[in-house]
A and B are shown apart, each in its own frame.
Chain A
Amino acid sequence: MDTIAQGVTVTKTGETGAFGGELLTINFGPHHPSTHGVLRLIVDLDGEQVRRLKPVIGYLHTGIEKQMEALRWQQGVTVTDRHDYLSPPINNLAYALAVEKLMGVDVPPRANALRVIMSELTRLSSHLVWMGTSGLELGAMSMLMYCFRERDTILDMNEEISGFRMHTSYIRPGGVMADATPRFLEMLDKFCHEMPGHVDEYEALLTNNPIWRSRTIGIGILSPEDAKVLGATGPMLRGSGVAWDLRRSMPYSGYENYDFEIATSDMRDCYGRYLVRIKEMRESVKILRQALDKLPDGPVNVDDRKMLPPPREELETSMEAVIHHFKLFTEGYSVPPGDVYVAVESGRGENGCYIASDGTHKPRRVKFRSASFVNLQVLERMALNHMLADMVAIIGTADTVLGDCDR
């Protein structure tokens, strides 16, 4: 890979473009209001058309995977929250499922239902942030206000169930942090009631909006073949007409018991991806309603004192419970040796977690297969021969989270 000079702003490449002028190399980001964080793109422009595009990543590299090697298994959950910061519970879920698979643990049905509820709420809030910011970038500022209003409702629910707005660390190996409170279930019921109307509101603002349509239809076309070859997943893939959703094709946490449709669109452009996300929001509400209606009773954690701390009451009467408690909070539990890969469907696509254990109380290696990183690879294919201004729409609908990409 050839190196790029630091701080390149505008340079001439020396090549002649299709319009007779010279190709210019310009620098887009990492500080740019429409790159969704700190993405940097080196773009070769012919007039105003993009001829080459190279993403430069790593401006948000946090060393999350390395950090997890220094943390005990139960501590690792807090770090998974922070790589894809728009969908923390889904990251928790991938990690928790991987650890549980290595340990051979099955969580109780109520925990599974709560995990599905939190995953779908997160998918909704992630799509809401996407729609708000993408709308803002293409000139629809009111979208941001509407979308963040509903996002705040979801964050209030997060706060009610886990005590924290964004980085909930709610889903943990062995179950979930705590049972849902009655108030949470009330809030969820109200939310399921109101959300379809809000989605109608967004559609009324955008779906037939001439500016939105002219900025997205026919922009950033991604053929299904390219999407598959380059490994795109999530709304990027489904927006190209491929019905691939891990919730359906490789079900986890009891997704096989819910009735929902996979949102696809044959338009293959930015508008198609927008339609897919709108449809997914409606389907998420459907899943939430089903999960709430048939929420099973019972415990929310596995009954394993080697993995989860004993209830507080037991500590006062049982010496054994005190020992378990002490062991768990000093050394932690150990996971049998082996390696495992588990993938879940996040708002952006396949969010995978690979874990290698050497049998100790800390992971040997943790690797995330993040959807943002892989989806970024199709950017050049989509942006080629489009105007520079259209790149904003294309980056927007790719919905990359740079924290997820750089980790």
Chain B
Amino acid sequence: MGRNILTTSLGKLVGWGRGNSIWPAQFGLACCAIEMIATATAGVDIARFGSEAFRASPRQSDLMIVSGRVSQKMAPILRTIYDQMPEPKWVISMGACASTGGIFNNYALLQGVDKIVPVDVYIPGCPPRPEDLLNALMILQERIKAQGILPPQ
């Protein structure tokens, strides 16, 4: 810093730090997971937004990207993984199936992952393009930056 002085509020600083280093859980379900992998590769490069560190353990991650359809059998596991993530944590519901059940309105699928975990950003599309996922990430970043130290529960 040299002789320069930087003034900011603690809330803004924490929000800036959190927003620019969201670590997603490496958690893929179906078709959207392939586009999630594509988002992490060189073409669109999620690393430009500080989220390239996909963590295999939910204990080390801040963001759960529900990428694909959630079956009734998978739902309790998804909730367990969400519960294992430390606070503060966020959820992106990627694609039509995760958001609403999509084209599958039947016995096997959960009709929207927001029935079991709170969702921050929904992405439409079946599957959404990698650019859509980046857009959702940027929306989430703005929200996190505005939240300050203690996100509303």
Using CB atoms and an 8 Å cutoff, list the residues of chain A in contact with chain B.
Answer: 30-33, 37-38, 58-64, 66-67, 78-79, 82, 85-86, 129, 132-133, 144-145, 148-149, 151-152, 165-167, 402-403, 406
Known: A60-B30, A60-B68, A60-B74. 7 other contacts (CB 8 A): A59-B77, A62-B30, A67-B104, A129-B34, A148-B38, A166-B31, A403-B30
Cα distance, A60 to B38, chains bound together (Å): 21
Cα distance, A62 to B105, chains bound together (Å): 10
Write the nearest CB–CB distance from A275 to chain B, whole angstroms. 24
- For A30, give its contact among B26, B30, B77, B106 (CB under 8 Å): B77
Q: B138 at the A/B interface (Cβ < 8 Å)?
A: no
Cα distance, A396 to B120, chains bound together (Å): 33
Write the nearest CB–CB distance from B83 to chain A, whole angstroms. 12
Q: B28 at the A/B interface (Cβ < 8 Å)?
A: yes
Write the nearest CB–CB distance from A337 to chain B, whole angstroms. 25
Cα distance, A58 to B109, chains bound together (Å): 11
B43, A59: Cβ atoms under 8 Å?
no
A38, B29: Cβ atoms under 8 Å?
yes
A152, B77: Cβ atoms under 8 Å?
no
A63: chain B residues within 8 A (beta carbon): 104, 106-109
Q: B3 at the A/B interface (Cβ < 8 Å)?
A: no
Write the nearest CB–CB distance from A186 to chain B, whole angstroms. 21
Query: Known: A33-B26, A166-B127. Is A66-B37 also a contact (CB below 8 A)?
Result: no
B81, A31: Cβ atoms under 8 Å?
yes
Query: Known: A38-B74, A148-B43. Is A60-B29 also a contact (CB below 8 A)?
Result: yes
Query: Known: A37-B28, A37-B29, A62-B108. Is A31-B38 also a contact (CB below 8 A)?
Result: no
Q: Which residues 31-56 of B sit at the A interface, judged by CB distance below 8 A? A: 31, 33-35, 37-38, 41-43, 56
A151: chain B residues within 8 A (beta carbon): 38
Cα distance, A31 to B66, chains bound together (Å): 12
- For A31, give its contact among B35, B77, B109, B129 (CB under 8 Å): B77
Q: Which residues 4-30 of B sit at the A interface, judged by CB distance below 8 A? A: 26-30
B31, A403: Cβ atoms under 8 Å?
yes
B58: chain A residues within 8 A (beta carbon): 31
Query: Known: A62-B71, A62-B104, A403-B31. Is A144-B41 also a contact (CB below 8 A)?
Result: yes
Cα distance, A86 to B33, chains bound together (Å): 11
Write the nearest CB–CB distance from A176 to chain B, whole angstroms. 20
Cα distance, A175 to B34, chains bound together (Å): 28
Q: B145 at the A/B interface (Cβ < 8 Å)?
A: no
B109: chain A residues within 8 A (beta carbon): 62-63
Cα distance, A66 to B107, chains bound together (Å): 9
User: 9 A–B contact pairs at CB < 8 A?
Assistant: A30-B77, A60-B30, A66-B108, A132-B41, A133-B37, A145-B41, A149-B41, A149-B43, A402-B30
Cα distance, A302 to B40, chains bound together (Å): 42
Cα distance, A58 to B77, chains bound together (Å): 13
- Chain B, residue nearest A136 (CB): B37
Q: B126 at the A/B interface (Cβ < 8 Å)?
A: yes
B41, A60: Cβ atoms under 8 Å?
no
Write the nearest CB–CB distance from A98 to chain B, whole angstroms. 20
- Chain B, residue nearest A35 (CB): B28
Cα distance, A142 to B41, chains bound together (Å): 9
Task: Sort A-B residue pairs by CB-CB distance and give the 8 closest, nearest first.
Answer: A63-B108, A85-B31, A148-B41, A63-B106, A33-B56, A59-B74, A145-B42, A33-B26
Write the nearest CB–CB distance from A373 to chain B, whole angstroms. 16
Q: B1 at the A/B interface (Cβ < 8 Å)?
A: no
B38, A152: Cβ atoms under 8 Å?
yes
Query: Known: A31-B77, A61-B73. Is A66-B30 also a contact (CB below 8 A)?
Result: no
Q: B103 at the A/B interface (Cβ < 8 Å)?
A: yes
Cα distance, A86 to B28, chains bound together (Å): 14
Cα distance, A85 to B36, chains bound together (Å): 13
Write the nearest CB–CB distance from A155 to chain B, whole angstroms. 8
- Chain B, residue nearest A6 (CB): B76
A132: chain B residues within 8 A (beta carbon): 37, 41
Query: Known: A85-B31, A129-B34, A167-B31. Is A78-B77 also a contact (CB below 8 A)?
Result: no
